[in-house]
Amino acid sequence: MAGGWSRDGAVQDQIDASVDEAVSRARQRLPSGESRLTCEECEQPIPEARRQAIQGVSLCVACQEASDARAEASGSLNRRGSKDSQLR
């Protein structure tokens, strides 16, 4: 279906490569190693279930939610210019 100078499947190959790269970047950001017993921000104990569920966890749930909210507020993703948001 590709036209012009591109070969068939080139667009899908490019999409697949972009997805693979995004997954790789996300995996690199995951914590690893031994989990902390206490939160590094508020020093409250981190529940055993959380430490077992997430390898290398260093924040309690409340501090992790606050950290995620700060990251989201910083505008790490620009969805205003995406094609999907324009179609809605």
Residue type, 8: D
Long-range contacts of 52-55 (CB under 8 A, 24+ apart): 55/30, 55/31
Give tens-digit pLDDT for 29-52: 887 889 999 999 999 999 999 999
| Residues in the chain where the model's pLDDT stays below 50 | 2
Q: Taking the C-alpha atoms of 25, 29, 34 and 38 in order, what is their torsion angle to the nearest 10 degrees? A: -170
Beta bridge partners of 38: 45
What's residue 85's pLDDT? 53
| Tokens (6 digits) for 64 | 């992790």
pTM strictly above 0.85: no
